[in-house]
């Protein structure tokens, strides 16, 4: 029997943030900021975004990639990646095209997002063939997709019982080195739900890296305007009070069971990129509002929390 779940208008607005993110990523890819052969399957048409938005997305994607590669360098491909609030992220397919495809890749999002993603995968051979090993089986049932090494699972991250059940169904194991991705998702969870989720993840995976990309410094004037604008679109940031200065994120994650944590605002991350990358990206589009980009950059942060000695030295540009 199908469970009939009704989402609130607020949940719908949160779900719609995936469309925004996918459109912004596709726009930046089309303009040459980075390469992604798969993003166009997930969103058909996009209007051009402002240069500061494109540059912000470049920094976000590159920063996540920088740490994903550091994780893989340390543990090789016998590991698992768990993508929380995955939306239409294409990382699984991008890794498949390199030598870095991992043993198990699990993606979690609301069922309405995962069932759409399942549908798009099923309709596009280029996506489907990458999740299907020779003689392998792909099972699509109730908005979930299971294959050998890739699991796309619908669940509400606010419900720990469901998260546990889905991770088990996806074959997650505490024995493997684990990369946990939370790109613009924890901020949408109530603080108690985020806390329970993070504590559970830290205790379940003794060798892990958690990458969190989300807003920071929301307590200042510019931050307040960001929160107000989102809330006017029906999208409340339930976890807003944890999006303070990066040092507060570090404290919070250490307190939740991670051994080490570091956090940088995106202006610091941007300055850590190799000069040739920054020069190339800066030449793609004229930017009139450098100050606005700087303000945006200082209101987003990348936080890296780790458990286990193997990952203790993860750092910007190491
Ligand atoms: C801004 S999008 C980011 C998508 C993707 N991580 C990326 O960066 O491209 C936020 C995603 O988190 C998901 N999300 C937010 N709250 C969630 C919850 N309680 N349970 C499951 N997914 C959630 C949304 O559905 C959406 O796909």
Q: Hey, whose CA ends up nearest to atom 8 of ligand 1?
A: 183
Cα–Cα distance for residue pair 254/130, rounded to 1 Å? 37
Report yes or no: 257 and 199 within 8 Å, Cβ to Cβ. Answer: yes
Report yes or no: 212 and 239 within 8 Å, Cβ to Cβ. Answer: no
pLDDT grade, residue 2 (50/70/90)? very low
Ligand 1 atom closest to residue 18's alpha carbon, by position in its atom list: 2
Return the minimum-mean-pLDDT range out of 68-72, 183-187, 191-195, 228-232: 228-232
Report yes or no: 113 and 16 within 8 Å, Cβ to Cβ. Answer: no
For all residues of the chain together, what is the average pLDDT? Answer: 93
Cα–Cα distance for residue pair 73/85, rounded to 1 Å? 25
Q: What is the pLDDT of residues 101-138, one digit of tens each?
A: 899 999 999 999 999 999 999 999 999 999 987 677 89
Ligand 1: which of 57, 110, 214, 215 to mutate, judged by most atoms within 8 Å of the beta carbon?
A: 110
DSSP, collapsed to helix, strand or coil, labels residue 74 as helix
Cα–Cα distance for residue pair 128/120, rounded to 1 Å? 9
Which pair of structure tokens corresponds to residue 239? 């976890």
Q: Judge whether 183 is annotated as a binding position.
A: yes
pLDDT grade, residue 54 (50/70/90)? very high
Q: Give me the residues paired with residue 149 across strands.
A: none
Which pair of structure tokens corresponds to residue 254? 């250490």
Q: Give me the residues paired with residue 181 across strands.
A: 83, 211
* Burial zone of 40 (CB within 10 Å; 0-12 exposed, 13-18 middle, 19+ buried): middle
Ligand 1: which of 11, 18, 89 to mutate, judged by most atoms within 8 Å of the beta carbon?
A: 18
Q: What is the pLDDT of residues 243-301, one digit of tens each?
A: 889 999 999 999 999 999 999 999 999 999 999 999 999 999 998 888 999 999 999 99
Tell me if 114 CB under 6 Å of ligand 1. Answer: no
pLDDT grade, residue 4 (50/70/90)? very low
List alpha helices for 76-159, DSSP H.
91-96, 111-123, 125-131
What does the angle CA 285 – CA 181 – CA 140 come to, to the nearest 5 degrees?
105
Distance (Å) of CA 252 to CA 196, 198, 213: 12, 10, 15
Q: What is the pLDDT of residues 75-108, one digit of tens each?
A: 999 999 999 999 999 999 999 999 888 999 999 9
Tell me if 145 CB under 6 Å of ligand 1. Answer: no
Cα–Cα distance for residue pair 197/120, rounded to 1 Å? 28
Tell me if 121 CB under 6 Å of ligand 1. Answer: no
Domains and CATH numbers, the chain: 28-311 (3.40.50.150)
- DSSP assignment letter at 102: -
């Amino acid at each position: 029997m199908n469970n009939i779940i009704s989402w609130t208008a607020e949940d719908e607005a949160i779900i719609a943030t995936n469309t925004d993110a996918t459109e912004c990523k596709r726009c930046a890819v089309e303009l040459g900021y980075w390469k992604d052969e798969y993003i166009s399957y997930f969103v058909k048409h996009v209007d051009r975004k402002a240069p500061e938005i494109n540059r912000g997305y470049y920094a976000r994607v590159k920063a996540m990639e920088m740490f994903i590669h550091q994780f893989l360098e340390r543990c090789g491909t016998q590991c698992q990646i768990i993508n929380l609030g995955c939306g239409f992220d294409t990382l699984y397919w991008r890794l498949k095209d390199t030598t870095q495809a991992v043993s198990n890749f699990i993606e979690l999002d609301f069922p309405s997002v995962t069932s759409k993603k399942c549908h798009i995968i099923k309709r596009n051979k280029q996506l489907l063939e990458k999740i299907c090993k020779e003689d392998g089986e792909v099972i699509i049932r109730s908005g979930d997709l299971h294959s050998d090494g890739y699991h796309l699972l619908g669940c509400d991250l606010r419900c720990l019982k469901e998260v546990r059940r889905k991770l088990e169904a996806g074959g997650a194991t505490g024995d493997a080195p684990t990369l946990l991705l939370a790109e613009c998702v924890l901020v949408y969870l109530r603080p108690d739900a985020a806390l329970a989720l993070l504590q559970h993840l830290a205790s379940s995976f003794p060798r892990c890296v958690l990458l969190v990309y989300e807003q920071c410094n929301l307590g200042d004037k510019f931050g307040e305007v960001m929160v107000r604008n989102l809330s006017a679109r029906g999208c409340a940031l339930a976890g807003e009070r944890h999006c303070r200065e990066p040092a507060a994120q570090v404290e919070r994650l250490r307190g939740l069971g991670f051994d080490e944590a570091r956090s940088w605002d995106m202006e610091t991350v941007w300055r850590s990129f190799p000069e040739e990358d920054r020069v190339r990206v800066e030449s793609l589009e004229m930017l009139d509002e450098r100050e606005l980009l700087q303000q945006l950059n200082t209101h987003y942060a990348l936080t890296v929390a780790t458990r286990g000695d193997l990952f203790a030295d993860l750092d910007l540009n190491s």
